[in-house]
Amino acid sequence: MIFARKVWRLLVAIKDGLALVFLLLFFLLLYAALAMRPNPGAVRTGALLLKLDGRVVEEPAAIDPIAALLARRLPTGEYRARDIVRGLRAAATDDRVKVVVLDLSRFLGGGQVHLQEIGAALDAVRAAKKPVLTYGTAYIDDGVMLAAHSSEVWVHPLGAAFVAGPGGKHLYYGRLLDKLKVDAHVFRVGTYKDYVEQYTRNDQSPEARQARQALYGALWANWQDNVARARPQANLKLAAGDPLGQIKAANNDSAAAAKAIGLVDRIGDRVAFGERVAQLVGRDPEVHRPGSFVHTNLRDWLAANEPKTPGRAIGVVTIAGEIVDGKAGPGTAGGDRIAKLLDDALDKDLAGLVVRVDSPGGSVMASEVIRAALERQKARRIPIAVSMANVAASGGYWVSTPGQRIFAEPSTITGSIGIFAVVPSFEKSLAAIGVTGDGVQTTPLSGQPDLLSGLNPEVEGMLQANVDSGYARFLGLVARARGKTVEQVDPIAQGRVWDGGTAHQLGLVDQFGGLDDALAWVAQRAGLADGAWHPEFLGAKTSPYASLLERLRGNDSAGPGDDGLDLSGQIAARQQGVIETAIAGAQHLLGARGAQALCLDCPSAPTAGEGHASLSDLGLLARIVRLFGLG
């Protein structure tokens, strides 16, 4: 009995100790987040430093502080594209900014439309006679595109720059499912709705290949045109056509090869690069390290340049990421969450609404929930425009149908008007190990759908009928929105994905333009003069932990430090992304989902915190301890 009491006291002491530790960590995290908020007073005359340690996105994902605290690695860095553009536009006209410095040593990419918008903003900085200097270790397509808009591009001596172009391979699970004796019951409408092919085939269908070749060909042409205009000295044909030959011609020196074909201008490490910037803006008197220079980080710069809010508000609702049922997001388009944002805005005196879409689609039900909420806004007789970013396909096009005017860019991926559902069953797998099903049914639907004993013909017919009905509804929505008949829409639907240029020719898009153009159109339709309106982004909130994570990543500093991923590291990161995409495809088969309007060809940014995009092996807790000098 005495021994039992001692054990009990020990367990209680451990419990109390753990509770105290977690309580202290919580308050430490809260204090750190509040102490590291953006500081508008931190702006200094010198360089504007854009250290993009992560991905450029339409809408950063929400940060779970507890998950981040316990994780082995920090969440992926995510930077809102419009914030970067706003910061660069302000820098172009502000005398305090002498130089813009772009640090891409840990840049993980972004959508082509976003990168074009940032490139245009960099061009505006250069047009204002302000240099743009870029540093990186391994430039791949997205990094090459941004760097092309710089006046001076540096690469680490052990770094590289190469052009891969869009495209790649998807995994097909058909033979594997046959070996496992798993039946993937596929219900779809659309000749080109190839998302389900990965579960039914061992290779790409001719129709899917045809559509993908056309799509990637257009995106590749747009990429080359943008880079060639920004950096005419770059030999893109040689860079894309014979990368190995160029490296061999430079005695296997990848950095020298990149310079020889004009992708970079100078070779040097971070210290040499910092000394070059310091020649233009001066050394940082507060930091006594080689390569330091006077600078302001993007976070503080944006805080000092808050957007003005004159006149009436034009609402902007963002639909970014996969469209899912429920309240998920930001960064994922939870149908209920976005519908609530729209319904809450019914009480606001909005002059109009812009629907900003950057989504490959997803749940048909969630897409319909969002569309219905947009229709309730439309019933107020306010002008509604749609602004498509990198991708607005499948469910992303479904939610675009209430728009009176659709804006897109030539590099936007859109269309994919089709629906599918996949339901696996395992009766053959179980039978192979001696397990069978039997029982009594009072109706053909009793116990159905039975994933363990198989689906009967009645259920299969009902599921296909449901998909057929959903596709017919999709066609009707598009036909009404585009002023066409269902018969006119069907041939350009069929689940086929289109680039923005072709979509414009087909009438799925009204005109080329970005978010600013959509806002201007709504303002004009609402009868508002220039300077008499401002955008109001519905539900846009800055995470209280974002500043802390930026500080922990070291995004405030300039000078010696981690030079990021070299060529091998970049390739490894890309391949790990491919592996995680393949895993996601397998999980999609087994996940509990309804009918889907989802696009296989459409890129989707990884969720914050995914392993391949993690920027450090140190978790949030370890970084906090180090930051406060506790370890």
Q: Tell me, what's the pLDDT at 607?
A: 40
Worst-scoring range by mean pLDDT, 42-56, 152-166, 425-439, 519-533?
425-439
Q: Tell me, what's the pLDDT at 611?
A: 35
Residue 324, judged by CB atoms within 10 A of its CB (0-12, 13-18, 19+), counts as buried
What sign does the CA torsion over 36, 37, 42, 43 have?
Answer: positive
Q: How many residues does the chain have?
A: 631
Alpha carbon distance 65, 526 (integer Å): 42
The pLDDT > 90 percentage for the chain reads 59
Using DSSP, state whether 360 is helix, strand or coil: coil
Q: Tell me, what's the pLDDT at 359?
A: 96
Alpha carbon distance 116, 130 (integer Å): 19
Q: Clarify whether 327 is annotated catalytic.
A: no
399, 319 contact by CB (below 8 A): yes
Mean pLDDT of 428-457: 85
Confidence of residue 67 (pLDDT cuts 50, 70, 90): low
In sequence order, the 6+-apart residues with CB closer than 8 A to the CB of 72 are: 617, 619
The one-letter amino acid code at 516 reads D
Alpha carbon distance 246, 243 (integer Å): 5
Q: Residue 89 CB: number of other CB atoms within 10 A?
A: 15
227, 148 contact by CB (below 8 A): yes
Worst-scoring range by mean pLDDT, 153-167, 226-240, 424-438, 577-591?
577-591
Whole-number mean pLDDT of the chain?
Answer: 85
> Which of residues 598 and 551 earns the better pLDDT score?
598
418, 432 contact by CB (below 8 A): no
Q: Tell me, what's the pLDDT at 581?
A: 59
Confidence of residue 225 (pLDDT cuts 50, 70, 90): very high
323, 392 contact by CB (below 8 A): no
Q: Tell me, what's the pLDDT at 591?
A: 60
> Which of residues 40 and 130 earns the better pLDDT score?
130
DSSP letters spanning 132-182: EEEEEEEE-HHHHHHHTTSSEEEEEEEEEE----S-------HHHHHHHT-
H or E segment to which residue 100 belongs: strand 97-103
Q: Tell me, what's the pLDDT at 540?
A: 74
Asked whether the predicted pLDDT for residue 437 surpasses 90, the reply is no
DSSP letters spanning 449-469: SBTTTB--HHHHHHHHHHHHH
Alpha carbon distance 172, 169 (integer Å): 9
Q: Tell me, what's the pLDDT at 614?
A: 39
Asked whether the predicted pLDDT for residue 319 surpasses 90, the reply is yes
Confidence of residue 526 (pLDDT cuts 50, 70, 90): very high
Confidence of residue 554 (pLDDT cuts 50, 70, 90): low
Confidence of residue 274 (pLDDT cuts 50, 70, 90): very high
The torsion of the CA quartet 556, 559, 560, 565, rounded to 10 degrees, works out to 70
Give tens-digit pLDDT for 84-120.
Answer: 999 999 999 999 999 999 999 999 999 999 999 999 9
Alpha carbon distance 95, 511 (integer Å): 36
Tell the residue number behind the tokens 């939870």, with chain if given: 334
> What angle do the packed helices 206-230 and 112-127 form, to 10 degrees?
10
57, 81 contact by CB (below 8 A): yes
Alpha carbon distance 340, 169 (integer Å): 38
Alpha carbon distance 625, 622 (integer Å): 5
**What angle is formed at CA 569 by the lines to CA 563 and CA 320, rounded to 5 degrees?**
90
Asked whether the predicted pLDDT for residue 620 surpasses 50, the reply is no
Q: Tell me, what's the pLDDT at 156?
A: 96
Query: CATH number of the domain at 33-163+234-305+543-587+604-627, please?
Result: 3.90.226.10
Give tens-digit pLDDT for 27-44.
Answer: 555 555 555 555 665 789
Confidence of residue 608 (pLDDT cuts 50, 70, 90): very low
Alpha carbon distance 446, 439 (integer Å): 10
Alpha carbon distance 390, 110 (integer Å): 9
Mean pLDDT of 384-401: 97
Using DSSP, state whether 185 is helix, strand or coil: strand
Alpha carbon distance 481, 476 (integer Å): 8
Q: Are strands 413-415 and 497-499 parallel, antiparallel or unpaired?
A: antiparallel
Confidence of residue 401 (pLDDT cuts 50, 70, 90): very high
Q: Tell me, what's the pLDDT at 200?
A: 85
| Radius of gyration of the chain from its Cα atoms, rounded to whole angstroms | 27
In sequence order, the 6+-apart residues with CB closer than 8 A to the CB of 399 are: 319, 323, 355, 357, 359, 367, 370, 371, 374
Confidence of residue 501 (pLDDT cuts 50, 70, 90): very high
Question: Phi and psi at residue 337, in whole multiples of 5°?
Answer: -65, -45
Mean pLDDT of 187-195: 81
Token pair listed for 292: 């330091």
Question: Looking at the DSSP assignment, which residues form a beta bridge with residue 160?
Answer: 138
H or E segment to which residue 340 belongs: helix 335-344
Tell the residue number behind the tokens 């229709």, with chain if given: 375
Token pair listed for 229: 């205009």
Asked whether the predicted pLDDT for residue 498 surpasses 80, the reply is yes
Question: Which residue out of 51, 130, 193, 259 is catalytically annotated?
Answer: 193
The torsion of the CA quartet 462, 467, 469, 471, rounded to 10 degrees, works out to -170
Question: Phi and psi at residue 448, in whole multiples of 5°?
Answer: -105, 150
Mean pLDDT of 180-205: 85
Alpha carbon distance 412, 512 (integer Å): 10
Q: Tell me, what's the pLDDT at 594?
A: 65
Worst-scoring range by mean pLDDT, 298-307, 331-340, 604-613?
604-613
Asked whether the predicted pLDDT for residue 409 surpasses 90, the reply is yes
Asked whether the predicted pLDDT for residue 63 surpasses 60, the reply is yes
Mean pLDDT of 122-141: 96
Asked whether the predicted pLDDT for residue 6 surpasses 50, the reply is yes
Give tens-digit pLDDT for 465-482.
Answer: 988 899 999 999 999 999
Alpha carbon distance 34, 252 (integer Å): 49
Question: Phi and psi at residue 103, in whole multiples of 5°?
Answer: -100, 110
Alpha carbon distance 193, 214 (integer Å): 15
The one-letter amino acid code at 154 reads W
323, 593 contact by CB (below 8 A): no
413, 396 contact by CB (below 8 A): no
Asked whether the predicted pLDDT for residue 263 surpasses 80, the reply is yes
By C-alpha distance, which of 390, 421, 387, 419 is closest to 404? Answer: 387
Asked whether the predicted pLDDT for residue 56 surpasses 60, the reply is yes
Q: Which residues of 35-62 are buried (b: 16+ CB within 10 A; e: fewer)?
A: ebebeeeebbebbbbbbbbbbbbbbbbe
Residue 611 Ramachandran class (φ > 0 left, ψ -120 to 50 alpha, else beta): alpha
Q: Tell me, what's the pLDDT at 626?
A: 42
Confidence of residue 613 (pLDDT cuts 50, 70, 90): very low
170, 600 contact by CB (below 8 A): yes
Asked whether the predicted pLDDT for residue 26 surpasses 50, the reply is yes
Question: Which residue out of 363, 394, 411, 425 is catalytically annotated?
Answer: 394
Worst-scoring range by mean pLDDT, 394-398, 559-563, 599-603?
559-563
Mean pLDDT of 338-356: 95
Q: Residue 286 CB: number of other CB atoms within 10 A?
A: 8
Q: Tell me, what's the pLDDT at 448?
A: 82
Which parts of 447-547 are beta strand (E)?
497-499, 511-512, 533-537
The pLDDT > 70 percentage for the chain reads 79
Q: Clarify whether 193 is annotated catalytic.
A: yes
